[in-house]
């Protein structure tokens, strides 16, 4: 049982993963490169947060014109049944937008060496799926301006419907109660938990 996690332990666990290379400790973080399915070396960061959580993150820069698109794509990734133990989101660092893949391991109370290795392998095994989901979805949806131009939201819902496997507003309404207001404010609740909207 590992009571207190160190970067040396994480570095040793990463060395046991054949697709990982160039592991470096810099400024209270480990960086490593993973050779993805396209042969690109993708850099990820591993940090220890508050001595109780291991955080792995991969940040992919995107253009400003795809920021809303990237939020939709991140949600699509998070809805995948095979996204176990990882999650995606859009963020900005300074004025630069990114889409991120992240995974956490709570270390409070101790962890096994096997749990540490499995968490790292799981994160790395999701990089290719994450990249292919994001790239294909961003290419399919296009820039934000292509679907945010409509004042009534029709283009926006049309793109979402086409993207999410043909779901339409009617099929979404079967599972959710959605109230749209012209100022782009939405109220979304599960129908099985919703009170009638009057």
- Helices (DSSP H) in the chain: which residue ranges? 7-15, 67-79, 113-125, 127-141, 145-148, 154-163, 169-175
Residue intervals in the chain for CATH 3.30.1460.10 = 7-141
CA 165 to CA 17: how far, in whole Å? 35
Of 62 and 141, which is predicted with more confidence?
A: 62
pLDDT for 45 equals: 94
Mean pLDDT for all residues in the chain: 78
pLDDT at 158: 56
Percent of the chain at pLDDT > 90 equals 33
Give me the mean pLDDT over the 186-192 stretch: 39
Backbone φ and ψ for 122, nearest 5 degrees, come out as -60, -45
Residue 153 has pLDDT above 80, yes or no: no
Residue 173's pLDDT is: 42
Average the pLDDT over 85-97 and give the result.
90
Write down the pLDDT at residue 164.
53
pLDDT at 198 over 60: no
DSSP H helical segments within 142-184, as ranges?
145-148, 154-163, 169-175
Q: How far apart are CA 117 and CA 40, in angstroms?
A: 23
Cβ-in-10-Å burial (0-12, 13-18, 19+) of 198 comes to exposed
Report whether pLDDT(20) > 50.
yes
Average pLDDT, integer, range 164-189: 41
> For residue 170, what pLDDT is reported?
43
Position 155 scores a pLDDT of 54
Q: Which fold has domain 7-141?
A: Yope Regulator; Chain: A, (3.30.1460)
182 vs 53, higher pLDDT? 53
Write down how long the chain is: 198
pLDDT of 118 strictly over 80:
yes
């Amino acid at each position: 049982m590992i009571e207190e996690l160190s970067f040396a332990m994480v570095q040793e666990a990463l060395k046991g993963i054949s697709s990982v290379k160039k592991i470096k400790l810099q400024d209270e973080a480990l960086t490593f490169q993973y050779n993805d399915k396209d042969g690109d070396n993708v850099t990820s960061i591993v940090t220890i947060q508050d001595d109780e959580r291991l955080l792995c993150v991969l940040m992919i820069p995107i253009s400003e014109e795809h920021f809303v698109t990237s939020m939709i794509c991140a949600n699509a990734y998070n809805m995948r049944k095979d996204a176990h133990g990882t999650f995606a989101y859009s963020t900005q660092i300074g004025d630069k937008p990114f889409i991120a893949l992240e995974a956490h391991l709570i270390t409070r109370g101790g962890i096994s060496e096997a749990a540490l290795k499995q968490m790292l392998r799981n994160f790395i095994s999701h990089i290719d799926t994450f990249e292919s989901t994001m790239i294909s979805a961003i290419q399919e949806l296009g820039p934000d301006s292509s679907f945010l131009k409509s004042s009534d939201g029709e283009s926006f819902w049309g793109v979402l419907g086409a993207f999410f496997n043909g779901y339409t507003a009617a099929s979404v309404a079967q599972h959710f109660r959605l109230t749209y207001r012209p100022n782009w404010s939405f109220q979304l609740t599960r129908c099985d938990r919703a009170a009638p909207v009057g």
